[in-house]
Amino acid sequence: MKAVVIGESSGATMEVIMAAYPRHKLVVDKFIEQGDVIGIGPFTDRGNMAIFKTRAAAEQFAREDPFMLEGLVKSYAIRDWDDNLLPG
């Protein structure tokens, strides 16, 4: 079972988002290097989604991500995803 973090944009400007981006990228890179991330990126409305191999990794990411901690993501949900196509 995989886990998906779906975030809703706070409406922050691109200037604010880009100021926090280097800190966010450090966290993203850490989870990628650990092999926890399957996919991650923004929606066109500046919301975002990240797919993790485990719920524990998704929860830890949400606790560490500067976009979450600094209010650039207004709200988020972690949903368990039963992906039947890709192996665990």
In whole angstroms, give the CA distance from residue 53 to residue 51: 7
pTM of the model as a whole:
0.89
Ranges of each domain in the chain: 2-81
Two tokens at 32?
């990628």
pLDDT at 83 over 90: no
Is 2-81 assigned to CATH 3.30.70.1060? yes
Q: What is the pLDDT of residues 17-67, one digit of tens each?
A: 999 999 999 999 999 999 999 999 999 988 999 999 999 999 999 999 999
- The region that residue 59 occupies, defined by phi over 0 for left and psi between -120 and 50 for alpha, beta otherwise, is alpha
